[in-house]
Amino acid sequence: MPAHDGTVTCSYRPAGPADGPAIADLFQRVRAARLPYLPVLHTPAEDVAFFGGHVMETCTVWVAETDRIVGFIAFREDWVDHLYVDVAHHGMGIGSALLARAMESEPALRLWNFQKNTEARRFYESNGFRVLEETEGQGNEEREPDVLMGWKRLTGPEDGEGETSR
């Protein structure tokens, strides 16, 4: 249900164990559509087990819903591990709303982004993240060049209290 300004009306809630299959499905669909250069390393059943188990156990996970889950973020202390939004809902403010949940919860965040994913890099930069390091992908499962990005909430008077770093 897009509004006239390009946003969409969603509800946001913490994810529960029953959301694992829908989250895994969204992850697979977005990666296939937006990151076709990445190898498929896991079966759908392995992804369901990963998101329903490991991710739910180690991260705070929020979902965005319309009539179904259209986005999710998984974050933990200092890190955003996953942020995916249904391709049909890109540019509608869902990713920013989900990222804001993590930024409200953590004073600093880092994340890895594939270098070829320039759309995501622009998104993170527009939300106050900056490049910390670029690698040739030796540390990721896909062996794809990536970029470490970071954000820190500025809190001291010398930092401009309450602002975010840019």
Q: How do residues 42-56 score in pLDDT, each as one tens digit?
A: 999 999 999 999 999
Q: Which of 106, 121, 153 is the last residue of a domain?
A: 106
Domain enclosing residue 13, as ranges: 1-106
Cβ-proximal residues to 127 (8 Å cutoff; 6+ apart), any chain: 96, 99, 103, 151
9 and 88 within one domain = yes
62 and 15 in a single domain? The answer is yes
For the chain, the distance separating the N- and C-terminal CA atoms, rounded to the nearest angstrom, is 32
Angle at alpha carbon of residue 114, lines to 102 and 77, rounded to 5° = 25
Q: Which residues contact 87 (CB under 8 A, 6 or more apart)?
A: 29, 30, 33, 34
* pLDDT, tens digit (0-9, with 9 covering 90-100), for 12-39: 999 998 999 999 999 999 999 999 999 9
Q: What is the pLDDT of residue 4?
A: 38
67 and 130 co-located in one domain: no
Alpha helices in the chain (DSSP H): 20-34, 44-49, 56-58, 94-105, 118-126
Last residue of a domain, one of 58, 76, 106: 106
| Average confidence (pLDDT) over 116-123 | 95
Cβ 59 vs Cβ 14: under 8 Å: no
The answer to whether residues 140 and 87 belong to one domain is no
Query: Do 8 and 26 fall into the same domain?
Result: yes
Residues 3 and 82 in one domain: yes
pTM: 0.87
> pLDDT tens-digit profile of 80-112?
999 999 999 999 999 999 999 999 999 999 999
Q: Are residues 23 and 61 in the same domain?
A: yes
Judge if 114 and 80 occupy the same domain. Answer: no
CA angle (44, 103, 73) in 5-degree steps: 10
Cα–Cα dist 92/110, whole Å: 23
Q: Are residues 89 and 154 in the same domain?
A: no
pLDDT of residue 17: 87
pLDDT in tens, 121-160: 999 999 999 999 999 999 999 999 999 999 999 875 555 4
Count of domains in the chain?
2
